[in-house]
Amino acid sequence: MPYIKVIQHEEAEGQLKEIYDELVRSRGKLAEVHKIQSLNPESIVAHMELYMKIMFGKSPLRRYQREMIAVIVSAANDCDYCIQHHAQALLFFWKDEEKVKQLSKDFTQLELPEKDALFCQYTQKLTVDPNFKGKEVLLNEMKASGIEDRGILDATLVISYFNFVNRMVLGLGVNLEDDGGGGYKYE
């Protein structure tokens, strides 16, 4: 149960109702993470603009890599809400439920392509200890594997975004939707 007042879709009026209706139209349904911001509708719009740019905008990162990063951040922060949502999205791309489950438990046990393994390692370290020792070494490994600076920037933006969302979800008591968080538009 959320720790603050939440205006439900059926209770929404004016600008908030318009925002909710647009989210249902564009994303397929309304998430609890959006409704938790209902007392400040403009924040929902800004949040979605950032989310869409980081997760769906033009990038050297593929969509599955962004979802993979989201799962790693959320697992490190013990944010079940975001793990569930982004594991569902990753499953859309990977089509392997066991692989997705293992990613959220211990990605080091997976045989991932080199770049994906490096993204996971960077994600874990940056989330748990943003000033981790050996950062320059890891970044140089990423570059040597063919990951360009723009890819590192975009990965860092995804990592930062999900640390922000995890804190909002955990801090305000956002509950997972009854359907388990699936059914959104993933592409």
Please report the domains of the chain, with CATH numbers, ordered by start residue: 9-56 (no CATH), 63-172 (1.20.1290.10)
80 Cβ contact partners less than 8 Å away, ≥ 6 residues apart: 74, 176
- For residue 186, the model assigns a pLDDT of 54
pLDDT in tens, 125-142: 999 999 999 999 999 999
Angle (CA) 164-152-63 rounded to 5° is 70
Q: What pTM was computed for the model?
A: 0.93
- For residue 26, the model assigns a pLDDT of 87
CA distance to 30, 103, 181, per residue, from 100 (Å)? 24, 5, 15
pLDDT in tens, 16-47: 999 999 999 988 889 999 999 999 999 999 99
What value does the mean pLDDT of the chain take? 94
Is it the case that residue 51 has pLDDT exceeding 60? yes
- For residue 83, the model assigns a pLDDT of 96
Is it the case that residue 185 has pLDDT exceeding 60? no
**Residues 169, 28: Cα–Cα separation, whole Å:** 20
